[in-house]
Each structure stands twice: as structure tokens, then as C-alpha cells.
């Protein structure tokens, strides 16, 4: 049994895994604090019916790499909450307030929004424990989903990546898999620069129009609680068929492992920029690399949200946060692609090297590599 608990343990972590269960309100959740050598962990709180401890572990590790690569004074952590994110708001509030109370003494983790949670959810957390980012503007936060922090970062990563491709953004065919907080904003940013959104998917299905989709109309549908499949001037497809649409830029912005060794052969694109966390398996990324398809890894490309969160936590303004996202995303994307080209390795391998250098340096400064006994530190 003990061997099972430590299956995912290595020299980086996880520092702790906490399972939270409160039957009186139907609360089941998992917190993974992966590595805090660089400081208290930041990572989003995800709500879905089919989450798991393994998924939480993998996402927390991705946050460790993401925060390190972005040069933030924070480690990686994650929470998954078992439940339907579309449950009645009153039930959701009761659940998340209970979770915040259960974790009120876990100073090694800072709450942040993710799939299934938003700025209002973070306001509930703040009311309970105060250790949170991604707050509504009305309570002094930088609402990272409202301003599209992750999408803004992705658009900057695309700009840099195109310097290593043989096509331009203007007129490029764009496909976005997932049209939530990340997908809708990156679609807006890139189409404003001249890209043509030809296909998009959400949990209900996909739509395709080779002549282009109206992003503003799609936003109106989503804001009204409808699906992208309610868009009229487009071919309706199954949800997973979005992988088959020929394009120049393909952006996954939904769940993990959507592209793997079994379906990557169907992908027909020239550039992949990972807007979701761990959306591709390693084998899928290697397949694309061998075919000459550039793939910008998740913890480099989608770091805009956590950069914004860290800036908010340390008292920065929205303007400063957006500037930091642009500067860090452009610098890191260029650095990773230069190493990848020079050393003939996958972009993910180059990105891992960048992140590990920073993590190892932070760990070397501690008596215990994963935690500190100093007061006020983790």
C-alpha cells in the first residue's frame, strides 16, 4: 500500500497529497503540493466529475515546471474537486467554502481559478481564508479570466513561434479545441491580428467553416449559455472531429491527453501551441516533431494565467501583469525554440532543461530540498 502512495514520487516531489472528504456537503477533493523550493505553490482549482488523484499529480507537476520556467517565486500545486461545474451556484459555493475551511492551514498552497471555477469562486475562498489570487476587480484582484491572461500569453507565444515557421499569421487558418476562458480569448487575440478561425469545439461538439467563423457571434452564444454548435453558418461535427480539420495553427484549450499516440496521425497542422495543461502525450509530441510540426509545450505557452496570478499576489497592477506576460512569454518561447533548433531536441526537452536549472538551483539553497523550517517560509 505504501508503495502505491509513492508511485509518483521523485526528487522534485510531491511534497504532500491531501485528500479532503466532507460527506455532509458532498465534498471530495484532492490537493497536491508538488514542489515549493522557489516559494509557496500556485495552481488552479479544477472542478469536474471525472477528475482523479493521478490527474491532480500530473497537473501539479506541470505547474512546478511552468512557474519555474516563468521565473516566478512560486512552486507548483493543484486542486481537483469532484463535481459538476454547472451545479447550482448555491451548492457550488457551499462546496468551495467548505474546501477552503478544510485547507485553511495549508500555507504551502495559494488558491487560483481553473476549469470549472472563476473569479466569484475565488472571492468565496478569500472570504474564508484570504490566501487566493484571480479575484474579481471589485475586491482588488486582477480577474485573469475576464482579461484573458492565458490567451494573451498564447498569442505572444504564437507570434514568436511563427518566426520559426514558413507562414505568417495574417490569413493563417486557426483551430481551437475548447472555447472556454482560454479558447475564446486566444481566438479573439489571434483573429484581431489577421488569423482566420475555421473550426472550434466545446463539450457539445465542433463546428467548421473554411471561410471563417465570426468570433464575436461565438462569444455571444457562449455568454448566453449556448454551445458553439448553435452557430448557424457552419458544418456541425462530433466533438473529437476538430482534430481532423486541416489548419495552420492548432490550439488545444480543454482537458489533458486529448491528443495521443492513437489519434495524433489525424492532426493536419503546421504549428501546435498548447493552451491546455498536458493536452498531448509525449509520444504525440515526438510524432509531430519527427514530421516537422512545431509544438510549443504547455508550461511555456500557457503561463500567462499564473504570471498574472503571481503579479496580483505581489500587488502589481493589471497593466504591469499584462506587460510581464508579454515579456516572459516572448523571451521563454524564443529561448526554448533556439535550444530546440541548436541541439535538435524536442521543444519540451529544451523547456524542461530551462525549468530544471531554476528548480535545482532553488533546491540547492535549502537544507531540506522540498521544504524549509524558517518561520514565514514553506
Given the residues 78, 92, 184, 328, the one annotated as active site: 78
Cβ distance 295 to 347 under 8 Å?
A: yes
Please give the sequence-ordered ranges of beta strands (E in DSSP) within 71-211, or none if there are none. 76-82, 109-113, 173-177, 196-202, 205-208
**d(Cα 224, Cα 228) in Å, to the nearest integer?**
11
Helices 347-364/53-69 angle, 10° precision = 80
Query: Is 291 a known active-site residue?
Result: no
Nearest Cα neighbor of 158 from 144, 147, 172, 179 is 172
Q: Residue holding cell 452564444?
A: 221
Question: Angle at CA 127, nearest 5°, toward 56 and 253?
Answer: 35
Q: How many CB atoms lie within 10 A of CB 265?
A: 11
Cell digits of residue 203: 463539450
Instruction: Give the burial class of 192: count Cβ atoms within 10 A of its Cβ; 0-12 exposed, 13-18 middle, 19 or more buried.
Output: exposed
List, in order, residues 6 or more apart from 158 with CB less than 8 Å away. 169, 190, 249, 271, 273
For 88, other C-beta atoms within 10 Å of its C-beta total 9
**Residues labelled catalytic:** 78
Amino acid at each position: 500500500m505504501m508503495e502505491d502512495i509513492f508511485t509518483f514520487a521523485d526528487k522534485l516531489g510531491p511534497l504532500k497529497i491531501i485528500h479532503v472528504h466532507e460527506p455532509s456537503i458532498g465534498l471530495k477533493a484532492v490537493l497536491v503540493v508538488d514542489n515549493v523550493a522557489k516559494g509557496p505553490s500556485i495552481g488552479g482549482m479544477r472542478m469536474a466529475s471525472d477528475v482523479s488523484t493521478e490527474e491532480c499529480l500530473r497537473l501539479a507537476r506541470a505547474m512546478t515546471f511552468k512557474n519555474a520556467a516563468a521565473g516566478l517565486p512560486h512552486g507548483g500545486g493543484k486542486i481537483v474537486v469532484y463535481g459538476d461545474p454547472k451545479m447550482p451556484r448555491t451548492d457550488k459555493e457551499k462546496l468551495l467554502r467548505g474546501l477552503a475551511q478544510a485547507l485553511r492551514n495549508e500555507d504551502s498552497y495559494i488558491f487560483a481559478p481553473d476549469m470549472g471555477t472563476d473569479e466569484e469562486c475565488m472571492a468565496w475562498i478569500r472570504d474564508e481564508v484570504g490566501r487566493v489570487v484571480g479575484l474579481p476587480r471589485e475586491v482588488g484582484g486582477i480577474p485573469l479570466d475576464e482579461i484573458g491572461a492565458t490567451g494573451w500569453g498564447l498569442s505572444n507565444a504564437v507570434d514568436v513561434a511563427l518566426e520559426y515557421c514558413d507562414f505568417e499569421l495574417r490569413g493563417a487558418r486557426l483551430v481551437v479545441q475548447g472555447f472556454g476562458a482560454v479558447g475564446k480569448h486566444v481566438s479573439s487575440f489571434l483573429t484581431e491580428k489577421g488569423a482566420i478561425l475555421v473550426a472550434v469545439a466545446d463539450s457539445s461538439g465542433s463546428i467548421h467553416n473554411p471561410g471563417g467563423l465570426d468570433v464575436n457571434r461565438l462569444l455571444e452564444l457562449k455568454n448566453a449559455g449556448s454551445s458553439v454548435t448553435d452557430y448557424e453558418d457552419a458544418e456541425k461535427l462530433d466533438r473529437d472531429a476538430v482534430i481532423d480539420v486541416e489548419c495552420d495553427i492548432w490550439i488545444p484549450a480543454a482537458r489533458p491527453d486529448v491528443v495521443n499516440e492513437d489519434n495524433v496521425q489525424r492532426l493536419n497542422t503546421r504549428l501546435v501551441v498548447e493552451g491546455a495543461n498536458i493536452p498531448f502525450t509525449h509520444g504525440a509530441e515526438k510524432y509531430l516533431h519527427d514530421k516537422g510540426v512545431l509544438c510549443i509545450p504547455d508550461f511555456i505557452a500557457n503561463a500567462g494565467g499564473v504570471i498574472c496570478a503571481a503579479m496580483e499576489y505581489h500587488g502589481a497592477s493589471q497593466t504591469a501583469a499584462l506587460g510581464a506576460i508579454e515579456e516572459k512569454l516572448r523571451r521563454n518561447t524564443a529561448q526554448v525554440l533556439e535550444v530546440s533548433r541548436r541541439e535538435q531536441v524536442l521543444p519540451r526537452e529544451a523547456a524542461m532543461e530551462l525549468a530544471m536549472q531554476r528548480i535545482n538551483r532553488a533546491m540547492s539553497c535549502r537544507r531540506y530540498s522540498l521544504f524549509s523550517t524558517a518561520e514565514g517560509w514553506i
